[in-house]
Structure 1
């Protein structure tokens, strides 16, 4: 499955997660540790961190067990994860701090509406800055709009969906349980998990 580049083209790979879906899907089978399996540094944008850990509200899908696992995993591995700060993330953090100081009145709770698109644009800007590093950026992303936005960045990027990532764990790393993980995710999500794209390029190597 892995396409090994020429020695002269090898760069240091880094995972970038700019879509909450990979965290949610891997979280529902408690497999987030697989992100560390290749030995790549892991970077998560601040808005994805906020989305993964926020209370979605009483009228939204809670999946409390999955959310509790993701929160615990993020806390446990905070020193191993780089948080990529964005302008939208800083704006949301300020709004949340003001709301909390006001006593958390429900009618003034910062809205999550339209933040996804704005945070995506912010992530693309910081992604361009990250590409100045001598690294190969591997974007793990399932959201179709986010994938289109990543494609629009004129840079050498590798992009894979969660299903491709799981196949990689199975075929190249032999991770226990990875061979049946996608079926487990489909069951856990009532068949709603995005199957992804068959032509996801995978040009990464295991870490040394």
Structure 2
């Protein structure tokens, strides 16, 4: 599905999960291990980890089973995952600790609004500085606003949504069950899963306009 150069011209890949949706969708069909099939490092921003595991709040979809499965997967693979610390993640953790010390009054609970997007931008900028020459980040992201933010970053990035990632696993890696995985996800999510951007995958380069 993704045509890539061979030999000396082939780039080194890194996966970066910058949106909680891919973890939630892959987790609901037991396919999180597909992230390891290409054999490249898998990085997740700290705010994505927080979002995918946090209590959603009173009256919201509790999805406890899904959270427990993702937490167990992260525990099993802690040596294979890199959690990318972001300024926004550090700030949120500090606010949560202060809130807990204050006995968790509801009206002082730290707001989640817009934190994911700010964490995403700082993570990409930080990672750009650390990337060795010839490496390429594959950003797996479904959130439409987050995708718009990624498009604005001048770096060696390939961006794709969960559906495209699954198609890649089917066509290039022959992952068992990948050919019917999206249908299974649509059923599991009551057909609420976003079918994704028809332009996927999107290739972004430093000289992109």
Structure 2: distance between partners of 1:149 and 1:65: 31
Give the match for residue 8 of structure 1.
Answer: 8
Report if the CA contact (8 A) 2:13-2:41 is conserved. Answer: yes
Question: Matched residue of 1:147: which SS?
Answer: helix
Deviations 1:159-189 (A, max 9, x none): 1110011011111111111111100101111
Identify if the C-alpha distance between structure 1 residues 17 and 117 changes in structure 2 by more than 3 Å, giving closer, same or farther.
same
Question: Which has the higher mean CA deviation after the structures are superposed, 101-110 or 53-62?
Answer: 101-110
Question: Which has the higher mean CA deviation after the structures are superposed, 107-116 or 88-97?
Answer: 107-116
Report if the CA contact (8 A) 2:46-2:84 is conserved. Answer: yes
Question: Matched residue of 1:172: which SS?
Answer: helix
Unaligned runs of 5+ in 1: 204-208
Question: Matched residue of 1:163: which SS?
Answer: helix
Report if the CA contact (8 A) 1:2-1:202 is conserved. Answer: no
Q: What TM-score, normalized by structure 2, do the two folds share?
A: 0.89
Report if the CA contact (8 A) 1:128-1:153 is conserved. Answer: no
Give the match for residue 54 of structure 2.
Answer: 54
Deviations 1:12-45 (A, max 9, x none): 1110011111011111112111101111110001
The answer to whether residue 42 in structure 2 is matched with residue 42 in structure 1 is: yes
Question: Which has the higher mean CA deviation after the structures are superposed, 1-10 or 55-64?
Answer: 1-10
Give the match for residue 206 of structure 1.
Answer: none
Query: Residues 110-149 of structure 1 correspond to what in structure 2 (within 5 A)?
Result: 110-132=110-132, 134-149=134-149
Structure 2: distance between partners of 1:19 and 1:127: 16
Deviations 1:39-84 (A, max 9, x none): 1110001111111111111221212211111111112212211111
Structure 2: distance between partners of 1:191 and 1:142: 15
Deviations 1:62-107 (A, max 9, x none): 1221111111111221221111111100000111111222233333
The answer to whether residue 80 in structure 2 is matched with residue 80 in structure 1 is: yes
Give the match for residue 192 of structure 2.
Answer: 192
Over aligned residue pairs, what C-alpha RMSD do you find? 1.8
Q: What TM-score, normalized by structure 1, do the two folds share?
A: 0.90
Deviations 1:127-172 (A, max 9, x none): 4324455421110111111111111111221111100110111111
Q: How many residues align?
A: 203
- Higher RCO (CA < 8 A, seq sep 6+): 1
